[in-house]
Amino acid sequence: MTGGISPATVKIGVRAALVALAAVAAVAVMYLIATTRPTPASWYPKCIHYRASGFHCPGCGTGRALHHALNGNFVQAARNNILAIVLLPTVAVAAGPRLMAWVRGRPAPPRRLLGARWVWLLVVLFLLFWVGRNIPVTPFTYLAPQELSSAETSASK
């Protein structure tokens, strides 16, 4: 008997549907982040580490940074979390080909961006960023999340 849809084709279709669903969810979340101003009263998750210790973790300011980046204000985005603004697109670019290989049921392509040496470099960078953004001396204070003054904000709109 010939014809019909093979199990492999169904598997690829299910995986493609899952990736499409995740992409729609990601776009919806990005829309919410872009349209919601990050204020202390907004729904953005508050950092448990910062509340408990008073020190910024490497993720502090990521929500504010994404909000500003999605609105085209990259200076203010970098002022809130430059590491997230650099790493998140890098991870997305690095994961894209592997995700597409998974959807097609093919072997993952070799890692070019995130080889073992790069992962160790990222770990060191991550730790230095964590310590550095908590040192209350210029230029380290530029690594801590902070809003620009209202004059700078209105000038950038």
Which residue, judged by CB position, is nearest to Zn ion in the bound state?
47
Helices H, strands E: what count in the chain? 6, 0
Q: State how far Cα 12 lies from the chain centre.
A: 27
- Provide the residue count of the chain: 157
Q: How far is the CB of 48 from Zn ion (least distance, A)?
A: 8
Q: Closer CB to Zn ion, residue 71 or residue 134?
A: 134
Q: How far is the CB of 44 from Zn ion (least distance, A)?
A: 11
Q: How far is the CB of 96 from Zn ion (least distance, A)?
A: 27
Q: What is the CA radius of gyration of the chain?
A: 20
End-to-end CA, the chain: 65
Q: Closer CB to Zn ion, residue 73 or residue 133?
A: 133
Q: Closer CB to Zn ion, residue 59 or residue 97?
A: 59
DSSP 114: S
Distance from C-alpha of 66 to C-alpha of 35, rounded to nearest angstrom: 11
Q: How far is the CB of 29 from Zn ion (least distance, A)?
A: 19
**Residue numbers at the binding site for Zn ion (CB under 5 A):** 47, 49-50, 57, 59-60
